[in-house]
Amino acid sequence: GVEQLKTDFEMNSPEINIQIDRDRAQRLGISTGQIGLEIRTALYGKEISKYKQDEDEYPIMLRYAKVTRDNIDALVNLQITYRDMNSGQLRSIPLSTVAKIDYSSTFAGIKRLDQKRVITVYSNVLSGFSANDIVPIIKSKVKSFPLHEGTNIKLTGEQEDQQETAVFLMKAMIIALGAIFFILITQFSSVSKSLIILSEVIFSIVGVLLGVMIFQMDLVIMMTGLGVVALGGIVVRNGILIVEFIDVKKKEGLPTRRAIIEGGKTRITPVILTATATMLGLVPLAVGMNINFVTLFTELNPHIYFGGDNVAFWGPLAWSIIFGLSFATFLTLMFVPALYELDYTMKLKMQKRKNLKRIKALKK
């Protein structure tokens, strides 16, 4: 499923080693620092001044011409200027007087990540394959690969980006749910009712996963994850409508079970209509419907077409909201009233137990 493997590690890169004869340099009164500075100035240059134009400053660099820099003989005959400590006069000697040049090969460069040496092996994915299919195979092969002490293998590139995105979206989801939970507690003054409403988020996530599996769509971490986070704020609205209506009916004097039935019957139409309107509004984005409004108003021809780059980017977001909302809406109409009834029954039993304990305590 992959093309030819490539690596960014190059072993046979030519290198020039300049070995300084420290004894001879010391006898002549030249330090290794002076020699190194002369070589660096000749090859890389030295800033001698600045050129100012308006508010911008440009450095003026002094160095040898490119023809001289690329010539090994010119490097060997590089003139080292120094002050003779005995006579106090300036003298110049060629570099070959105090140094020897050797030719060898070495690494082209050493790349580091977090101060650790890294070598990257990479390849393109062939058409007809996806990274999600190839990664599990690579992971199984890596387990049997012998490693030296202090080395490890880590997936990078697209997989690393997806992992970082997934962690970011998970944190965003937790923060969003925490904020929603806090608002619900403030509104209903009940932890149990807030948890009942938040249960819809779980239903929506299940709906997204089922939709992706049934229609065999690619799970795009970034946009699908954003869709799930958006669902967290959309689906709780249906639960709020039902729970709030039940509370209103209870305040009007209806028994709890009757209020639950009335809440489910009365709110079924607005819940389904709002969810359907939201899903229908996302269909053009999901299928990549494009309309040219310029030609629509000038030529009365909208040039409608489907697909394009937009659907590849926005499609996973729209489909995840559609799948999650459609699945969570119908489960909301069944489970939210049932969970409300279960919560009421459990609280009633707990209250009866407390009352029995109080009665027994009074009899004693």
In this predicted structure, the answer to whether residue 309 has a pLDDT above a threshold of 80 is: no
Residue 47 sits in a domain of what CATH number?
Answer: 3.30.2090.10
Q: Position of tokens 């028994």?
A: 255
Quickly count: other Cβ atoms within 10 Å of residue 267's Cβ: 21
Mean per-residue pLDDT, 48-62? 87
Pair 84, 163 in one domain: no
Q: Position of tokens 């709030």?
A: 244
- 191-214 vs 309-363: helix crossing angle, rounded to 10: 150
Pair 76, 223 in one domain: no
Predicted confidence at residue 103, as pLDDT, reads 82
Looking at 75, 106, 137, the residue that finishes a domain is 106
Question: Structural domain of residue 344, as residue ranges?
Answer: 159-363
Mean per-residue pLDDT, 324-345? 86
Cβ-contact 99, 19 below 8 angstroms: yes
Q: Is residue 197 part of a domain?
A: yes
For residue 100, what pLDDT band results from cuts at 50, 70 and 90? confident
Pair 223, 318 in one domain: yes
Mean per-residue pLDDT, 28-54? 86
Predicted confidence at residue 134, as pLDDT, reads 78
Pair 170, 319 in one domain: yes
Mean per-residue pLDDT, 259-267? 87
Q: Is residue 139 part of a domain?
A: no
Pair 291, 353 in one domain: yes
Predicted confidence at residue 224, as pLDDT, reads 85
Average pLDDT over the chain, rounded to an integer: 83
Q: Is residue 308 part of a domain?
A: yes
Q: Is residue 131 part of a domain?
A: no
Looking at 73, 106, 139, the residue that finishes a domain is 106
For residue 1, what pLDDT band results from cuts at 50, 70 and 90? low
Helix (H) or strand (E) holding 309: helix 309-363
Predicted confidence at residue 151, as pLDDT, reads 83
Q: Position of tokens 């001698």?
A: 48
Q: What is the pLDDT of residues 275-292, one digit of tens each?
A: 899 899 888 888 888 787
Predicted confidence at residue 344, as pLDDT, reads 85
Q: Is residue 141 part of a domain?
A: no
Pair 191, 300 in one domain: yes
Q: What is the 3-state secondary structure (H, E, C) of 154-189?
A: CCCCHHHHHHHHHHHHHHHHHHHHHHHHHHHHHHHC
In the chain, the number of structural domains is 2
Least confident of 90-104, 126-140, 214-228: 126-140
For residue 241, what pLDDT band results from cuts at 50, 70 and 90? confident
Looking at 89, 106, 123, the residue that finishes a domain is 106
Mean per-residue pLDDT, 206-231? 85
Q: What is the pLDDT of residues 2-40, one digit of tens each?
A: 777 777 777 777 788 888 888 888 888 888 888 888 888
Pair 252, 342 in one domain: yes
Predicted confidence at residue 202, as pLDDT, reads 84
In this predicted structure, the answer to whether residue 252 has a pLDDT above a threshold of 70 is: yes
Cβ-contact 330, 210 below 8 angstroms: no
Pair 266, 198 in one domain: yes
Q: Is residue 130 part of a domain?
A: no
Least confident of 41-50, 320-329, 352-361: 352-361
Pair 210, 315 in one domain: yes
Pair 41, 170 in one domain: no
Mean per-residue pLDDT, 174-199? 87
Quickly count: other Cβ atoms within 10 Å of residue 209's Cβ: 17
Q: Is residue 351 part of a domain?
A: yes
In this predicted structure, the answer to whether residue 307 has a pLDDT above a threshold of 80 is: no
Predicted confidence at residue 364, as pLDDT, reads 63
Mean per-residue pLDDT, 90-97? 86
Pair 166, 254 in one domain: yes
Q: Is residue 99 part of a domain?
A: yes
How long a stretch of residues is the chain?
364
| pTM exceeds 0.85, yes or no | no
Pair 309, 164 in one domain: yes
For residue 91, what pLDDT band results from cuts at 50, 70 and 90? confident
